[in-house]
Each structure stands twice: as C-alpha cells, then as structure tokens.
Amino acid sequence: MGIQKILNANAQYGVPVKIFTNDIDQESIEQLKKMAQLQFVHSHIAVMPDVHVGKGATVGSVIPTKHAIIPAAVGVDIGCGMNAIRLNLKASQLPDNLAPLRYAIERKVPVGFELHKQIKAKASSVIPLEKRLQPIIKKHPGLVRMLRKFDATWQKQLGTLGGGNHFIELCLDENQDVWIMLHSGSRGLGNVIGTYFIELAKKEAQHRFGHVPDKDLSYFAEGSNSFDDYVEAVEWAQEYAFENRREMMRLILEAIRPLLPPFQMTKEAINCHHNYVSREHHFGEDLLITRKGAIRAGRDELGIIPGSMGARSYIVKGKANPESFCSCSHGAGRKMSRSKAKLLFSQDDLIHQTQGIECRKDSGVIDEIPSAYKDIDQVMANQSDLVEILHTLKQILCIKG
C-alpha cells in the first residue's frame, strides 16, 4: 500500500501531510496540522503507519525543514534506535530453560535508572565522546547542573538499557536462526540535552519564519548561535546512542557465551536511529530531515521494525520511496497511553499475552502489554511501498527496563 490519506494544504495550514495509513486518531491529525503550518517545512510531511500523538511533534512523522530545526520534534530520547545481530546458532542449540540467559544479561546490563558501578565502555568509545562533549558544555554549562554527577553518570550509563519501551530480546527468525535485538537511546545525558534545548528554543522564541502554532514547535533558525550549538549537541547525543547500543551488545554477548555452544556473529548486523535529525537531499533540495519515530529506508538500506513484547518484529530493506523521504515506521506504534493500558489490563492479561516468552510478567510492565500497541502485521502491510521484508523475528526472551 502507498499513501492512504492526505491532509491537503489550505488557508489554515501550509504543506500537505501524506499519511501511509488510515489508522490515525483525531488528536494526531490536529497535531500534524499545526506542524504543517510552519513556513520552513519543505514539500510535505510524511507520516508512517505507526503514527500516534507525541509531545510537540507526532510520533511516526518525517519532517523536512529548510534553514530551521525543531528540538521538540527530535525529542528528548535523542538517537533512540535499534541494534540487531544474527548468530550462527539454531533454535535447537538453545537450552530448554531460558531464564538463566535472562538473568545473566540482566546482571551484565543495568536497566531502568540503573548504571554501571564502574565505567564499562572501552576507552576507544569514551575518549572521543568526552573530547567532543567539552566544547558543548563550555558554551552551555547549564547542562552540567541538570545531570547528577555529570561526568560519572554519562560514562557509566554507556552500555545500559534505560526504561519505558526499551528492551533486549533473543529472537528466532523464519529459518530458526538466533538473533539478538535491542532498543535504546542516549540515556540521561541525551534527555538533558533534549530538554535543555527545547526550553531554550521556547525562551528565544525566534520568529524569522512567522507564527508558531504551538510553543512545543519552537525552532532555531539557521545562522543563529543556538542553531549551530543544538546541531553540535544533537549530533553528539546521536553518536552516544549509537555507541551505547554497540557497547550493550558487547556486554550481552559476554553474558550469554558461557551458557551457549560456541558461536559467531554473521555479517548481518544493523544499528539504526529512529529519533534523530540528519542532512539529506530530497526533491532537489538540501534539507534537514527529522525522523520522530521513523527509520531511514534508503535503497537497499537495512532496518529493524520491532513489534510489541508479544508480537513479531521485522528486518527490512528500504525501497527509497521519495514520498516518505526514504523512511519507514520505527515499530508497531502505541494505540493507547501507558496510563490507559494500566487501567484496562491486569497482570493476568500480561501473563496470557506473553505466554511462551521468558520475560518479566509483573505489574511493573503492564503498560508495555502487547494489546497497548497496534497490530504490527497491519503496520507492515501499510508500508509495503516503503520496505521489503527480509526476516521475520519472534522473540523467545525479552528484558524490559
């Protein structure tokens, strides 16, 4: 399927909004209309099939801008994304009881608000990040005051999962090959950078491009000091998120090796962002592309689209669809808020919906119950024009923050 719904430009809002699904709520539509009013948005806004309302900008939106950037559209989980590798192991080589594997990973990789007691990341990861960070905090010392034990915290959080919808999974594909897949971002310092610059944009309230329909859509204009500083900081956070996932994967492999037959990683390894901004060329223009809950799906580019903790996930190859700005969905997408999920579902519901999966089944993760998410198979059907499915994964072990 291709574009299924278009919000056409009119007197109230500027560019069209092209939506790759019919499954979209009115609140998201109203939010997208506000985004489309921004005069620096180029061509149109593309909306992925996992669309749902977000803070400031709609989750599942791809926003092309020229000469301006919106910090709230990138969000506070800067560089959040996925990492997956395939092992040369088959399902038959796994132990019948997966609980020891889960406990071994949980001992190696802190989850939620936890961090390593000591710096676990390699110096080759930490030193370049530290060198790039110094000029950022020199210009914006307020960042340091927003994170407790600043230097120790960001360094000790390298190789940690975080909370919410972040996860680590052991999966099997259609050939019964074993995969490790994880979802995480830039942790505490990424959140601080996002929060700091979102508030700075609101405070500066630049009006070079006219009226802003929502204060959460406050922007920095290219050529301003704040624009350059934000781009520098957001690129740092994106690199940190990438290194965080890579370090976490290293620790996971260390944790499971003693419990499994000898194995190697295959060449099929993917590490991709889905909350980020990048400079790209589309429709004859050099643009800033903000993907808020979307991944890049350029020609033959590999990506990961996870379902919920009880549904399938997909390894995909991009089709470089120009109308989506070479993008696709970043997952199934929530169909209800966390608070609503906690009201509607019980621990018994969670146990039933995660049957056969080694995972937490306590009340602390009810907000991540599969029924709180859209049907991933329908989401995939809606984006057949955007990606080709290479592998279908089903999790057998899941660790949630």
Whether 150 shows a pLDDT value over 90: the answer reads yes
pLDDT in tens, 228-245: 999 999 999 999 999 999
Give the pTM: 0.94
Whether 368 shows a pLDDT value over 80: the answer reads yes
Packed helices 187-204 and 225-256: angle between N→C axes, nearest 10 degrees: 160
User: Is residue 178 helix, strand or coil?
Assistant: strand
**Using 50, 70 and 90 to split pLDDT, how confident is the model at 8?**
confident
Distance CA 184, CA 248 (A): 9
User: Is residue 287 helix, strand or coil?
Assistant: strand
E strand or H helix that includes residue 46: strand 45-52
pLDDT at residue 11 in the model = 59
Q: What does the pLDDT average to over 370-392? A: 95
Of the residues 52, 116, 273, 330, only one is catalytic, namely 330
Q: Which of these ranges, 68-77, 265-274, 355-364, has the smallest mean pLDDT? A: 265-274
E strand or H helix that includes residue 27: helix 26-36
pLDDT at residue 55 in the model = 84
Q: Which residues face 53 on adjacent strands? A: none
CATH H superfamily, domain 5-335+373-400: tRNA-splicing ligase RtcB (3.90.1860.10)
pLDDT at residue 267 in the model = 74
Average pLDDT score, the chain: 94
Whether 13 shows a pLDDT value over 80: the answer reads no
pLDDT in tens, 155-214: 999 999 999 899 999 999 999 999 999 999 999 999 999 999 999 999 988 778 877 889
pLDDT in tens, 292-332: 999 999 999 999 999 988 899 999 999 999 999 999 999 99
**Whole-Å CA distances, 281 to 3, 209, 286, 289:** 21, 22, 4, 9
- Residue 330 catalytic? yes
pLDDT at residue 304 in the model = 97
Distance CA 365, CA 380 (A): 25
- Asked if residues 62 and 322 have their Cβ atoms less than 8 Å apart, the reply is no
Size of the chain, expressed as the number of residues it contains: 401
Annotated binding site for Mn(2+): 77, 166, 183, 274
Q: What does the pLDDT average to over 110-116? A: 94
Token pair 């601080």 is at which residue?
192
Q: What does the pLDDT average to over 65-86? A: 96
- Number of other residues whose CB lies within 10 A of the CB of residue 16: 17
Percent of the chain exceeding pLDDT 70 equals 99
- Asked if residues 367 and 353 have their Cβ atoms less than 8 Å apart, the reply is no
Domain ranges (residues) in the chain:
5-335+373-400, 336-372
pLDDT at residue 266 in the model = 87
Q: What does the pLDDT average to over 27-31? A: 94
- Asked if residues 84 and 181 have their Cβ atoms less than 8 Å apart, the reply is yes
Task: Taking the CA atoms of 255, 260, 263 and 266 in sequence, report the sign of the dihedral they define.
Answer: negative
pLDDT at residue 9 in the model = 67
Token pair 């539509």 is at which residue?
29
Q: What does the pLDDT average to over 263-267? A: 89
Tokens matching residue 169 = 């999974």
